[in-house]
Structures are given as C-alpha cells and as structure tokens.
Structure 1
Amino acid sequence: MAVSRPDGQISEGSDGFYHGDRRGLSLLTAHAEDVPNAPISGGPDSAEHASFRTVLRGLAEHSPDPAVTLERRRAVEPGELSETITLHNAGLTGVRVRLTLRAASDLASMETIKSGRSVSEVPWAQEKDGLSWSDGEMTARLTCTPAPDAVEQAPAETAELRYSIELGARESWQATVRCTIEDEKGEAFRPATARARAEFASGAALATADRGLDHWFARSCSDLRSLLLADPLEENDTFLAAGAPWFLTLFGRDSLWAARMLLPLGTKLAAGTLRTLARRQGAVSDPATEEQPGKILHEIRRDGLHFGDGLSVPPCYYGTVDATPLWVTLLHDAWRWGMPAEEVERLLPHAESALVWMDEYGDADGDGFLEYVDSTGRGLSNQGWKDSGDAVRHRDGRLAEPPVALCEVQAYAHEAALSAAELMRAFGRPGAERWEEWAQRLRVRFRERFWVEDADGPYPAIALGSDKQPLDALTSNIGHLLGTGLLDEEEGRLVAARLAGHHLDSGFGLRTLASDSGGFSPLGYHIGTVWPHDTAIAVQGLVRDGHHAAAESLAAGLVKASVSFDGRLPELFAGHGTGTDTRPAPYPAACRPQAWAATSAVTVLQAVLGLEADAPSGRLTVRPRMAAGYVPLRARGLRLGEREFEVAVDADGTPRVSGFADGSVSVEASGPAQ
C-alpha cells in the first residue's frame, strides 16, 4: 500500500510504500526546480490507483493560463509501487525543466511508525539500474526509466535523482519509477490472487435516490477487493485484512465481523475466513500467547508487536474474548445465506470446540459469564473490540479492574449457543438441548446482574468488574445486544431509546461513550469517537428487533458522514456531532480504508431492505421498512447461495425481487407498514 500527501508527495509522517508490515519507501517526491510548483488535483482513482497534477508556473506561458504541468500516476500491487511521471507543455514555446526526484527508505516497522518514534534512514546504494536499501532481511529497489542524468547524495541519507529536460512546444516527456520489495522472511499472509479480487462482489451495484449511499457502497466494494488476503496454507481461502495502514493482516474479530456484514454479497469470503481461522484454532494452553483449546485467535503479525512500557504481543496472539463466539455465529449465518452444507458440516467440530472454550475457558471462574484477564502481564488489558487501556470504565470515569465480563460478549455467547443448537439439529449432531439451556441460563443471569439505572431509567452496564459489580458507563456496546435474543421486548425498547438519545447518537453515528459520562472525549479512541461498524451493528440489531425509527436515524447519520469522507469511511472519527459540526472531524491515526467500516455500507443496505435469508429452507424475506429516504432503489448482485438476485423498491415502497423465477426460492416481500 502507498500513503501520501494530497499532492502525491511521499514525504512525512506515516507516508510511505509498505509491504509486510514494513516501510519500503519513506520518501518519494518530485519537484521542478526554480519555479513555483502549484498542486491542483490529486487523490485515489480506485483502491489500486491514484493520480496527481501540479502546475509549473511561469514556464512557456503566453497568457495568464498555465502551460506546463507535472502529472504523476501511481499504482500499487503486491510488492511493487510504480509511478508514471509526465511533463506536458501546452505552450507555444519550448522550455527547459529541471526535475528532481528525492527518495529514501527507513525500512521501519509498522509499530514504530504508528508510535511516532523517530527512525533513521537506511543508507542507499547505487546499482547499475537504480538504487537499493537493505537491512539484510528486506531490500527495496528503485529503478527509473529513462535513467536520471545524475544521482547525488543529499542530507539524511536522501538520494536525489536529477533530470534536465528539453520540452518543445506541444511536447510531452515521460519517465517510469518503480519500487520493488525483496523480503527474505516473507509475509504472514499474501494478497489474494487477481482472480479472487476480480470475483469479489462482482456484479454488486446500488442505485438509489441517495447518491451518498451509492458512492459509499461502490467505494467500499472497491476498497474491500484490495484488502483481500489469502491463507498461504490454502490460497483459495480468502479473508479481509482489518485495515490500512496499521492492521493489514488477519484479525479474528475484525475479519469475522467483516465477513458477516458481507453475507448478502455471497458466502465465499465467510467460508474462507472461517477455514483460515479454524486452521489456527487453539489446541493447547500456552500462557505466553494466551492460546487455549478451542479459542479463536486475535491477530497474526510478521514479527509481533512491541508497544513500549513493557507491552508486547507475540506474532500469533490469542488475547481476545469475543472472536470465538463470533466464529460460531458466522458459521451459522453463512449457512443461512447459502454456504454449501458439506462445507458447513466439515467445520462443525471446530464449532463444538469453540463452545467448549466458551463454557470452560471463557468462563474461568465459573460464574456463568465470559470474561477476560491478560495472563501475560504485557498483552492487551482489555480484550473486547474496545481494547484500549481506558475503554472500560465506570460512569464517573474510574477504570475497570480485571477480570472483566463485557455486556456484548455475553450477547455474542448467547447468540452463538442458540446458533450452534440450530446447526446441531440440522446436521443430526447431539447437544442442541444443552446449548439452548446454557443460553437460557445466561439470559437470566444477564438480566439479574447487568442492568443499572439512572435518572432516565434502566440500561445495561458496559461490563461487570473484578468485584462482579456493574461498571455503569453508558456506551455504544449496548447496541450489540439487540438482535441476539438476549433481551426481551421491553429491554430491547429501553436499549433502542438510549441509542436514539442525544448523548449516544451524534448525528453521524453512535458515540462509543455517552457524552455526559466521566472521561468522555470526542477524540478518545474508545471513549467518545464514532466507529461506523459499531453503529452499523446497532442498526442491524434495531431492525431485527423492530425499532425501525431509531435504525433509520443512525443509518442516515452514517450515510451523511460517508459523504464527508468521499465514500471511504475511516475506522473511526471524532464524536463532536451535528450539534456543533457540519461534517465529522477525522481521527488522526484512523485506518482508512478499514474493513468493517467499508462493510458497514452493506449492513446498512441490508437493514434498509429488511433482508433475511433462510437458504436451507429456500426462503428469502424482504421488508423495506426504512427505505423511504432511498427510493426508488435498485440493488444488483446480491446472492443467496449460488443464486444471484436483485431487489428493487419503487417510490411507493413496494419491493420487487428478481432472480428466482424457477420457484427454487420462496420470496416474502412486503412494503412499508400501514
């Protein structure tokens, strides 16, 4: 991947060309010397391509109009960045241009760059066909065609490649710059094949009355294709990397949620994600990595991570409490969306191992709740999706003491147990009654222990702390309880009302922490910012439980936010909200693109259409109860198993489904409630 300034210069901060969690190029700039360089346009054209244009003022100008421009067209693919540099002279006279390219590399690790620690550039070596930088493990090579007129040493180990170009009237000059990476160690995972990327979400398209939703959906599909990685143990199994630049690897929780959100576009990604994680499912108890039998991993890195202050995680790290139940639920949902029965059945032993982990290891103290505590002393202190050190707290701002039992993890476990019971019955395996009873006991315990109350009434606490008492912060976590079966009708109504309140609903999506809570910060990573996937999960849960008004408002907020980010919603953004801002403010270190932020577009579409699938029974339900702001609407390239279908919603809210003319699938389609 490549990260640059808006004018195309790779020059500062986290800019660079990255490969395998390392930065191959930290500097690549182009300047015409001795004349003003005035950038006029630039940015991504697609996930793999970007273009930038700069006016060179004062050259060959015979009127107030610019005459000479510098154009850079950049492309990235696995292990290679290429850039075509073109000078255009639209003037009536010839001109000489002195073009200087500056290049450098620090070969720094991703964690070092993210931390902001200073890194020295690696000395460059001149080779027959260009330059190289190497630390013995990774080598970056830069070649230029045509070769520069001169290569010179500049301060701070920077190489300057100089061209003196005679550019006649109406003429153009062009050069190609290419950086390739040679990696002795190799990556933990490799990019998906070109065929897999081409097939991903092929045919998926959306046209609605809201161009913001359309653009968000299209941009997301493009970005997601480039986040596809393949399992080196089986390259046909693909999954989504969590996000660029910081998390371009396999994450259990992130990859599972992203695959689940994308099920309306097909089950192949879900199947690949499930199998990739199943191959690495915990088999032994290892305190150093937090591996346990049946547990699904947290993340895999090339070299592990070292955060400073004694915090570090190994290359394969299992420090997560929620990935294991989420794996079981994805298997169930993928089956409902048409994942082939034989593929589902082969994974059922892994699901059974995951259930045993939930019951025996996830509930280490036997109190009936899944909880976590870092056993290494140097790993993640919080191990739910809000895994920063200050994410879990009391309402007055006091931080949690481990072990911690998160509210949403109990919901995931409840849903996983019921999902597993349904799978066991469908495939003739024993144990369904046991897990239904397990889920019922959890449901009762949750009602007894997690609910707290303030002046506005009851709501679920974010967690139970080490003393088994509720941590009473009001958070977006409660949105994850909806649609899981954990709450009864009245409890669901209370949660929906809290989500719709102004302390959580920013107008651009849900704040992670209510704005009247102790420690709230609009730019706090998990204590006040807005995470698109978090809001999208709440939207889907609200729709499942029948709270369409609240779902519609939150979905509209995400669409509004996506417009401000040109359709590429970041991992998170500031939680100031529409009461003070007309557009959301970026969070400085957010991944963009990020998998579950992008897949949220599909979840919002699914909620708008009210899509529910039951492929084993040959049924599809379409109830567009919240489509009023988007009609007329046409969604193409949706999939139920091997069948592609289309949903259209007319201006009056009437849905039409095409693609099942042979009667193989019964469709229940109903318009807005009267």
Structure 2
Amino acid sequence: MSPRQPFLHDLSMLLSAPMQAWSGQDGQIRAQGAQGMYVADTRVVGEAVLTVNGEEPEPLGSAGPVFDSVVRAVGGAYADPLLLLARRRTVGPSRVAEEISLRSDLPDEVTVSVGLRIGVDFSPMTAVKSGGPRVPLAPVRRGGRWVASSGAVTASFEAPGAVAVADDGGIAFHWDVTIPPRGRAQVGWSVDAADGQSPVAAAQAGGGAGGIAGAVGTASPQPLRVSARDPRLAALVAQAQQDLAGLRMSAVERPDDSFLAAGAPWFFTLFGRDSIIAARMMLPVDPELAAGTLRTLAARQGVENNPETAEQPGKILHELRRGELVLPANSHNEGLRLPPVYYGTVDATPLWISLLHDAWKWGMPEEAVRGLLGNLEAALGWLRDWADADGDGFLEYLDTTGHGLANQGWKDSGDSIRWGDGSLARGPIALAEVQGYAYRAALDGAELLEAMGRPGPEEWRSWAAVLAEKFRAAFWCRDGLGTYPAIALDADKRPVDGVASNMGHLLGTGILSTEEGDVVAARLMHPSLFSGFGIRTLDTDNGGYWPLRYHCGSVWTHDSAIILAGLAASGHSADAAHLAAGLLNAAEGFGYRLPELFSGRPADDGGPLPYPSSCRPQAWAAASAVPILLATLGLEPQGAGLLPVAAAGVPTPFGAFTVSGLWANGRQFKVDVDAEGNTAVSAAP
C-alpha cells in the first residue's frame, strides 16, 4: 500500500506554539498516523500508551486536557467500575506533561502496576504528512532524565518514581502504585523539547512594542467577552481565542513581534498570506498582532530576483521553515520542493500593504508606521515592476522551477483553477481576487503616502483606476444564471469560466461597481455556491466539483468569513447575516472549533462533514470568529472612537448580544446590539 497523508478529524489536539500533542480521543498516543508530540516541525514522541496491570484503561470520555477512563483489571468482583483513571495533559511552549491520577472506591487497599510505553520518534513533519516511515531514536540516560537528540532537536524525558528501561525505539516506564481504600494515588511524566535551528519560537509575553493597543498607554488587549442570548456565539469566540493563543509565535530574530502560525499540525510556522489575513481579521480584538506581523514579514521582504526561491525586490514571503520542504506524489502538490524561505505567493504583498493601512487606521502609532514606509514603497514597487511579468496590466504568477507551487494564490493546490467543464487552466494565471487585492492596496498605499508626506499617491490612484478598467473589460463571463467574474485569466488571456468563491473576495475592495457587487452577492448566495453552512470553493455545476475536494467544492472557513465581511462592507447586510448564521451552525457541528475546511455538501443533507486532514486549529479559521461576530455591524475606527457604519435595523443572526474587548486607537470599547441590529458603542472605563 502506498503511503497516505494521515487524517486528523478524529484526533484530540492540544498545543502551545511551538509544541503540540495529538492523540486518540482516549488520550493514548499510538504509533500510527499523525499521533504524537511535536516541537516545531519535528515529532519527538510517536507513542505514549498507558496500561494498568497490563491492560489499557477503557475510555469514558474526554474534556479538554483530561481523558477519563475506567480500570477493570482491578476489582473485577464488582459490577460497577470502582477504579477510575484520569490522564491530565498540559502543553507549554517547550514541555508536555501528564498527570496520571487513580481514584478508587474499592473497600480494600490495592496495588497496581502502571506502565507507560514511550516511543521516541524524530520524524520530520513532511514525513508525517506524507505517511512516510518513522524515525525511532534510542534515548540515553543523563542523571535522572532520558535524553534523545538529532541535529539541533533534543528531547528529554522524566518520570519521577518510575523504573525505566530503554531500547532502540524508546522507553518503558513502570510504577507500582498503592491506592488506599476509597482513596487516590498519582504519578506523572514529562517531555521537554527544543529545536535549536527552528526559525520560529514561542511568542514572548508582553511583546508588541510600537503596536496599537498600547499606543496611548493602555494595557495589552484583554480577552474578547461575549454575552449573547444564543450561547453558541460565546462558545465560538471562547474556543477561537484559546486556539489563537496556542498559535501565537515569534521569529527567533524578532522575539518582541508576534504573529499567528498558519495552522496545526502541518503549517506550524510563519506564512505570509495566512498570518496577514488572520491579523487583519483580529484588528478589532488584538491589534498588536498586526504590528508584529507587519514587522516580522518586513524584516524578510525580498531584495533580489531569485527564480529558485521566487524572491523579487519588495515581495513578501510565502512561508518560512527550518529546511527544505519536500512533498510526495500523493499530495495536493505532487513533487513539490520548496526552499526554507520561499516567496511563491502572488497575494501576500498587496495584502501586507492593506494590513499596514488598516493597522494605521486602527491606531498604529505614526512613528511605527513611518518605520515601515520604506517597506511600503518597496511593496508598491513590486506591484508595478515585478508582479505583471508580461505587461498586460494584471498581477499573475508562473512557477518557472518545475518544483515550486503551480498555483500561488490562496487556493494553492495544483488542481484548483478550473474551467466550467472541470479541466485545468494553463498558466501564467491572473487570479480575479488578486486584482481586487492589488486595486485596494494601491489606494491604501496612496492614502498612506499622502498622509506621511511621501511622493507618489496620485500615481497609485491612477494605477488603480487603470487596473479596474482592465478588470471590467477582461474578467466578466456569462452562463445560464447571468454574468459573473471569472476565477482567473489563463495563459492566453481568456477568462477561466469556473464559478468559484474567488469572486467573493472582490467585495469591499472597491474594484466592483455597486451594480457589479449586487450581481456577485446574488451569485455567491445561490444554492450552487452557498451550501447552507458556507460558500463552496467551486460551484456544484462545475465538472470538477466534489464536496470533499480540497479547493474544488469544499467550504473553507476563512474564505466564507472574508466573503461575509465583503458582503457587509458592500451593503449586503442581510446576506452577511445569513452566511454568519450558516458558519455558526457549522461551528456547532465541530464543537465550536471551526476547521480549516469542511465538506461542501448541502446543509439539508445533515450536519457538516469534516475534511479529514484539515488543520485544527488554523489561524485564519479561528480568527474568522471575529467577522462572524461582527457580521452585520460594520464597525470602523473614526478619530478616537469606534463607530458602526452598517445600516441599522438588519436583524442579527444571533439575537441580542453584548461584546466587550474591542480596540481602536488605543482605547477599549463595548458594543451592545439588540435583536434588530441596532448598535450602541461605549468606551470601556
């Protein structure tokens, strides 16, 4: 059997960047699939199986970090389960620890043999993702700990009070545990791990100097708090904040600037596009992320033309890893081989420009903005001088190496850009949404340049106007339902007529007229694209549609959330509310942790199906809780205040609610919303 990418949907996950732990729902970590404990991009524990008297405890259930089970190898004379075991797992930035508690209601003292088999496995993440062979490692004893290392990655294990025996593949710990009558006993173990060559690390508490929330001497952002008649809303927001806290990282060379890692387990590092979009969604809640993300990416902005890495002057990177990334033939990008610092993205640069603009609007101090003006001008220069390789006026991409990303927008799998009959478009590809991003970036850049007294604002306004005119002439298609923007232009400059979610990203950029925005909104909410839970990546009439195809029929949480925000910004508040309600229904089906993507099957066919190898959590999926929460409010900073700009009187999809912990211009605000969508904003004391 050929290797397969492991599924994740039925696993339990805990993380605190750069550590993460994946197990079965019973808490056992078995030597299969993606189960294990990881530091950055290396798995250090591939097995952690617990037994009592030689038998595995029988699971009762789990809640967060606690896995409850019953031990039936003891007290078998009783019909009721009188010996319980709780396995509490905690994950920190460099340590995973487990507390194993035994609680007895037996009338007599009992002594049990608790065993724990630890498989030491130093497989790189790329090997795990491809289902490749494991890399077992023999630990050695050093003092009271067992230590394993490979290159710059080290892991040390400790189990106080246990007898330990090591072999080539790990360690067997054993405790003889005496439990008093109707009493308790406890043992535990831990692993500490580090990767000395990882370019990313845990974010430092209290970082973010020169950010937004602290601009006028306020404290760091406080957690978002929601009180709602619909309890699901608060559950979604609470889970999202917990997940985002676990994804918060810093570049090793910039420890004070934090960003969000793209997602666990596969993309637990800096991604330009993902980190920017997540930070932009979080601006009303955690504005420090925007400042940290902007500076982290600016520090690695392209300075030379290097086809092998896709670097170009002014370009923002795609992803950062400790070594070369190689994916096998069974992946979405067959034969992919990327360098440690890779710039193969067409959209991160315009998105970086707009994040800088939006962060400035939300209160990023002028001094901090001025510190990035050189990067802004370089990024704008990339739009003009490098992004349009053939001079047709559009941003496009083409991998010239043969082993880079064939598609370099957010739908970056090799089969994502399709004609209506399902056939694949041939590159160079000019994506529809990227033209919208560039249009918005040019205007945002012009506003910043003008405000900061720098030359060129009128040049960029003219550039944007020309782009909009060209877009209107080149991208529109027609089918039986009417007109709509094509997903892209192909190598022959033909509009690729696949009906896809990409058009939704144009809403709110300004590149569409009011009438065109109405057409796009109607098409997005048509049942061929709107599943009832979210917007499908590809419509059901396409020859390549399948509800569990990665970019060709599934629903991506962030995609729908961006569309939701665009609908609200372009005056389609009722559609935004409908979409927000669908996403909240989907969240309920996933325990309020919205995944990276899920099935595009219709909502009236049952609950949302997982895409089984989807990241959980993923930064832009978790951050989507904010646009869902603020779906119909359209809040924007104005002066020192925070004002709703959406039309009043659009009923919310959640009923009445109150949200506090929103930030603008260094001040914190509370928003009260009644069931009809009428909004009152007040400054927090």
TM-score class normalised by the smaller sequence = over 0.9
Q: Which residue of 1 aligns with 2:53?
A: 33
* TM-fit CA distance, 1:18: 0.7
Q: Across the two proteins, how many residue pairs are aligned to each other?
A: 650
- Code of the residue aligned with 1:517 in structure 2: it is N
Q: Which residue of 1 aligns with 2:144?
A: 129
* TM-fit CA distance, 1:205: 0.6
* TM-fit CA distance, 1:259: 0.5
Residues 619/5 of structure 1: CA separation in 2 closer, same or farther (3 Å cut): closer
Q: 1:425 aligned to 2:450? A: yes
Secondary structure, counterpart of 1:53 in structure 2: strand
Secondary structure, counterpart of 1:494 in structure 2: helix
Q: Which residue of 1 aligns with 2:435?
A: 410
Unaligned runs of 5+ in 1: 45-49, 662-674
* TM-fit CA distance, 1:618: 5.3
Secondary structure, counterpart of 1:515 in structure 2: coil
Secondary structure, counterpart of 1:519 in structure 2: coil
Instruction: Work out which of the residue numbers 568, 588, 602 in structure 1 matches 2:626.
Output: 602
Q: Which residue of 2 aligns with 1:306?
A: 326
With 165-174 and 101-110 compared, the bigger mean Cα shift is at 165-174
- The Cα offsets for residues 199-230 of structure 1, whole Å up to 9 and x where unpaired, read as 87423111112222211111101111111111
Q: Distance in 1 between matches of 2:654 and 2:626?
A: 14
Q: Which residue of 2 aligns with 1:672?
A: none
Q: Which residue of 1 aligns with 2:514?
A: 489
Instruction: Work out which of the residue numbers 295, 304, 327 in structure 2 matches 1:284.
Output: 304
Alignment of structure 1 residues 471-490 onto 2, 5 Å = 471-490=496-515
Q: 1:648 aligned to 2:672? A: yes
* TM-fit CA distance, 1:59: 2.6
Instruction: Work out which of the residue numbers 327, 330, 353 in structure 1 matches 2:378.
Output: 353
- The Cα offsets for residues 41-65 of structure 1, whole Å up to 9 and x where unpaired, read as 2142xxxxx1111111263367533
* TM-fit CA distance, 1:654: 3.2
Secondary structure, counterpart of 2:598 in structure 1: coil
Q: Which residue of 2 aligns with 1:443?
A: 468
Secondary structure, counterpart of 1:265 in structure 2: coil
Q: Which residue of 1 aligns with 2:175?
A: 163
- Code of the residue aligned with 1:559 in structure 2: it is L
* TM-fit CA distance, 1:94: 2.0
Alignment of structure 1 residues 56-205 onto 2, 5 Å = 56-57=71-72, 59-60=74-75, 63-148=78-163, 150-151=164-165, 153=167, 157-183=169-195, 185-196=196-207, 201-205=221-225
Q: Distance in 2 between matches of 1:464 and 1:643?
A: 44
Q: Distance in 1 between matches of 2:265 and 2:598?
A: 16
Is the CA contact (8 Å cut-off) linking 1:335 and 1:344 kept in structure 2? Answer: yes
Is the CA contact (8 Å cut-off) linking 1:210 and 1:629 kept in structure 2? Answer: no
Pairwise CA RMSD = 2.0
- The Cα offsets for residues 130-167 of structure 1, whole Å up to 9 and x where unpaired, read as 4333334322221101122x5265xx834322223232
Q: 1:620 aligned to 2:648? A: no
Instruction: Work out which of the residue numbers 511, 536, 558 in structure 2 matches 1:533.
Output: 558
Q: Distance in 2 between matches of 1:343 and 1:254?
A: 22
Q: Distance in 2 between matches of 1:651 and 1:520?
A: 38
- Code of the residue aligned with 1:186 in structure 2: it is Q
Is the CA contact (8 Å cut-off) linking 1:58 and 1:66 kept in structure 2? Answer: no
Q: Distance in 2 between matches of 1:554 and 1:562?
A: 12
Residues 315/36 of structure 1: CA separation in 2 closer, same or farther (3 Å cut): closer
Residues 35/289 of structure 1: CA separation in 2 closer, same or farther (3 Å cut): closer
Residues 625/566 of structure 1: CA separation in 2 closer, same or farther (3 Å cut): farther
* Greater relative CO (CA pairs within 8 A, separation 6+): 2
Q: 1:4 aligned to 2:23? A: yes
Q: Which residue of 2 aligns with 1:665?
A: none
TM-score, structure 1 as length reference = 0.93
Q: Which residue of 1 aligns with 2:3?
A: none
- Code of the residue aligned with 2:277 in structure 1: it is W
Q: Which residue of 1 aligns with 2:6?
A: none
Q: Distance in 1 between matches of 2:361 and 2:154?
A: 47
* TM-fit CA distance, 1:549: 2.1
- Code of the residue aligned with 1:119 in structure 2: it is R
Is the CA contact (8 Å cut-off) linking 2:130 and 2:328 kept in structure 1? Answer: no
Secondary structure, counterpart of 1:264 in structure 2: coil
Is the CA contact (8 Å cut-off) linking 2:52 and 2:73 kept in structure 1? Answer: no
- The Cα offsets for residues 566-610 of structure 1, whole Å up to 9 and x where unpaired, read as 1111111111121322x1111111110110001101011222322
* TM-fit CA distance, 1:24: 0.9
**Identity within the alignment, %:** 46
Is the CA contact (8 Å cut-off) linking 1:483 and 1:541 kept in structure 2? Answer: yes
Unaligned runs of 5+ in 2: 1-19, 214-218, 330-334
- The Cα offsets for residues 294-346 of structure 1, whole Å up to 9 and x where unpaired, read as 00000000112011354200000000000000000001111111111221122
TM-score, structure 2 as length reference = 0.92
Residues 31/263 of structure 1: CA separation in 2 closer, same or farther (3 Å cut): same
Q: Distance in 1 between matches of 2:166 and 2:192?
A: 21
Alignment of structure 1 residues 267-278 onto 2, 5 Å = 267-278=287-298
Q: Which residue of 1 aligns with 2:543?
A: 518
Secondary structure, counterpart of 2:498 in structure 1: coil
Secondary structure, counterpart of 2:159 in structure 1: strand
Secondary structure, counterpart of 1:169 in structure 2: coil
* TM-fit CA distance, 1:235: 1.7
Alignment of structure 1 residues 495-644 onto 2, 5 Å = 495-581=520-606, 583-615=607-639, 620-623=643-646, 625-644=649-668
Q: Distance in 2 between matches of 1:152 and 1:386?
A: 46
Q: Distance in 2 between matches of 1:312 and 1:346?
A: 35
- Code of the residue aligned with 2:305 in structure 1: it is S
Is the CA contact (8 Å cut-off) linking 2:50 and 2:56 kept in structure 1? Answer: no
With 84-93 and 410-419 compared, the bigger mean Cα shift is at 84-93
Is the CA contact (8 Å cut-off) linking 2:637 and 2:665 kept in structure 1? Answer: no
Is the CA contact (8 Å cut-off) linking 1:52 and 1:72 kept in structure 2? Answer: yes
Residues 404/330 of structure 1: CA separation in 2 closer, same or farther (3 Å cut): same
Residues 70/364 of structure 1: CA separation in 2 closer, same or farther (3 Å cut): same
* TM-fit CA distance, 1:521: 1.3
Q: Distance in 1 between matches of 2:604 and 2:655?
A: 28
Q: Distance in 1 between matches of 2:437 and 2:272?
A: 14
With 284-293 and 336-345 compared, the bigger mean Cα shift is at 336-345
* TM-fit CA distance, 1:626: 4.2
Is the CA contact (8 Å cut-off) linking 1:622 and 1:655 kept in structure 2? Answer: no
Q: Distance in 1 between matches of 2:649 and 2:244?
A: 28
Q: Distance in 2 between matches of 1:245 and 1:514?
A: 29
Q: Distance in 2 between matches of 1:347 and 1:196?
A: 18
Q: Distance in 1 between matches of 2:574 and 2:653?
A: 12
Q: Which residue of 2 aligns with 1:669?
A: none
Alignment of structure 1 residues 347-386 onto 2, 5 Å = 347-386=372-411
With 162-171 and 522-531 compared, the bigger mean Cα shift is at 162-171
Secondary structure, counterpart of 2:603 in structure 1: coil
Secondary structure, counterpart of 1:141 in structure 2: strand
Secondary structure, counterpart of 1:145 in structure 2: coil
Secondary structure, counterpart of 2:632 in structure 1: helix
Q: 1:294 aligned to 2:324? A: no
With 136-145 and 531-540 compared, the bigger mean Cα shift is at 136-145
Is the CA contact (8 Å cut-off) linking 2:370 and 2:452 kept in structure 1? Answer: yes
Secondary structure, counterpart of 2:604 in structure 1: coil
Q: Which residue of 2 aligns with 1:657?
A: 681
Q: Which residue of 1 aligns with 2:16?
A: none
Secondary structure, counterpart of 1:26 in structure 2: strand
